[in-house]
Amino acid sequence: MAKDDNGGDNGGGDNDPPLGAPAPGAPPADAPPQRRKSDRDEAKPRYLDPGDTVFSLWRRVLLARYRRLAAAATRHIIQRPLHIGISARIFHPEPGATGLRSRNLQYLEESVAQWVMSRDVLVFMVPTVNTEGLLHPSNIRLRDYARHLDGLVLQGGADVSPQSYAEAPTRPEWGGDRARDMYELELLHEFVEAGKPVLGICRGCQLINVAFGGTLFQDIASDLPEALRHVNDEYDRNRHAVAFPPGSSLERLFRDRPRGLVNSIHHQAVKTLGRDMQVEALSVPDQVIEAIRYRKAPFVMGLQWHPEFHRAGGVELLDCTPILDNFLRVARETRF
């Protein structure tokens, strides 16, 4: 160990670098200073592509968000039950009656509601609206039902009034229900304008034809004496065959069955077709119109028979479940 002039230890050794020399492993004195890693470099994950830019990263983030929202919306469309409205039958007060029979009543026939609900949809009866009611005025319109429901079924019931197609009743008992006509005609047009599907049953079929300018035979037996008996005391057990004209949607739907047996519970029928109407079924052999379709809408169809009285999967009467399913598929496609 080296000693200084006074005999002290100067801390140096044989292998020690000269004073002022750089320490071993240190960069040369003339080397450029090293850049310290910034906090941003420290935070950037090493799994990212070195070629990524801010724009490419944001593009992928937004695309992933879009896919997630689209998947959620698709699940909502598929899983949320359809909301189907059914027009109300109307009971008018009877003269001199007491209790319920002295009141206006609106109701559904159970079989119609059960038939529609058989496909796991929610059913709502659509009541008439009275915006000028003295007791309970409301701003609700039939248009609001068309906006919030996914489809409409017009159920059977009283005759369509000849006044609704600019005729006078040939017999007093064929005067029909003009009040119900006005309510259902407005309801029908609101759903058609909203692009929602409509299925008319019996009276509903006749109303669809009248809504687009068509007319009716007021009584088949009187106006078409050579025709079959389309109504009698057997009610829904009165039956006849129907044929589907070539090119009709029902012919395509029942491709393996050119004819079908249906119930017959009506004394009125379509006479002249409304505008843009197409015949979908004819009674055999008298050629009375039994089903119609409005060509300028996704689905507006009328059936003169009562499909709700036909057993699903039945082999005797025509199984009308495919018609219901077609109606509901269009309701899902047009629900937004």
Active-site positions read 202, 306, 308
Cα–Cα distances in angstroms (integers) from residue 117 to residues 91, 152, 304, in the given order: 24, 13, 21
Alpha carbons 264 and 269: distance in angstroms, whole number: 11
Q: Identify the H or E element spanning 326.
A: helix 321-333
3-state secondary structure of 93: coil
Query: What phi, psi does 253 have (nearest 5°)?
Result: -70, -40
Burial 165-185 (b: 16+ CB within 10 A, else e): beeeeeeeebebbeebbebbb
Alpha carbons 32 and 51: distance in angstroms, whole number: 27
Query: What phi, psi does 207 have (nearest 5°)?
Result: -65, -40
Structure-block tokens of residue 241? 């065959």
